[in-house]
Amino acid sequence: MGDFQLSNGCFEVKSTFGNYLVDFSSHKEFLDNTNHAKTILVIDKTIYKSYQSSFTNFLQKNILVIDSSEKSKSFEYATTILNELLKKKIKKDYTLIAIGGGTLQDLTAFTASIIYRGIKWNFIPTTLLAQCDSCIGSKTSINFQSYKNVLGNFYPPKKVIIDVEFLESLPSSEIKSGIGEMIHYFYFEKNIFLKEIFANYDKLVTRKK
Ligand SMILES: NC(=O)c1ccc[n+]([C@@H]2O[C@H](COP(=O)([O-])OP(=O)(O)OC[C@H]3O[C@@H](n4cnc5c(N)ncnc54)[C@H](O)[C@@H]3O)[C@@H](O)[C@H]2O)c1
């Protein structure tokens, strides 16, 4: 991975594997402005249930709902996704939009990297961990047999849309998990936000204002 550049309030990540933009904006606006006919949304089941109104403009044939869990982040399940995408008559000029946490990200990015020798994908991260950590770095990792994250490659999205609205429905356990990731970066960078996190930890976890 390369360096970061700021443009119009967005991060541009300069990566050896391809540059991409990290945009802090509304997922609804982004989805409204996509080419619906050539896009397949790959959505975490929990997100699909809780944010259904965001996806009503898409036809069912352009939506794939995934029950994402560590168990489903497997080579076998990736082949199930490939099968579903082919049944949906996906073509090389289609784009996948992954909407979910790090698990859904890994599965979708891996799938996007191998179908038709690689198609475009975008990412809308919905967990704190995915918004603050995994959406940067271009890694795709899936589990194989009893080994975690042993299969994968580097395959960056074209765009990452970070919409903090998703954090409102996130359970405290997942907020804690994301804060853990943030702390390890802040600790080594001696970042000023580290003190703020420690001082406001309870409020952050319960999201009380
Ligand atoms: N590719 C990378 O660079 C990278 C980096 C770090 C971690 N990871 C991987 O990420 C995975 C963990 O991802 P994660 O911590 O984002 O969790 P996750 O994607 O497994 O999601 C955790 C749970 O939260 C639910 N969820 C997601 N968004 C929600 C929301 N907005 N509201 C309510 N519920 C929501 C999901 O349905 C799931 O049940 C691990 O498999 C790890 O290996 C990948």
Same domain, 14 and 115: yes
Angle subtended at Cα 113 by Cα 108 and Cα 116, rounded to the nearest 5 degrees? 115
Structural domain boundaries enclosing 144 = 4-169
Determine the atom of ligand 1 nearest the C-alpha atom of 44. Answer: 37
pLDDT at 119: 98
Same domain, 123 and 208: no
Same domain, 156 and 59: yes
pLDDT at 85: 98
CA of 102 to the centre of ligand 1 (A): 4
Nearest-CA residue for ligand 1 atom 3 is: 134
CA of 201 to the centre of ligand 1 (A): 21
Same domain, 91 and 188: no
pLDDT in tens, the chain (209 residues): 566 767 676 889 998 999 999 999 999 999 999 999 999 999 999 999 999 999 999 999 999 999 999 999 999 999 999 999 999 999 999 999 999 999 999 999 999 999 999 999 999 999 999 999 999 999 999 999 999 999 999 999 999 999 999 999 999 999 999 999 999 999 888 888 899 999 999 999 987 66
**How far, in Å, CA of 124 to CA of 105, rounded?**
9
Same domain, 129 and 183: no
pLDDT at 2: 61
Nearest-CA residue for ligand 1 atom 22 is: 101
Tokens 């990290």 locate to 22
Same domain, 117 and 194: no
Domain count of the chain?
2
Same domain, 147 and 175: no
Determine the atom of ligand 1 nearest the C-alpha atom of 128. Answer: 16
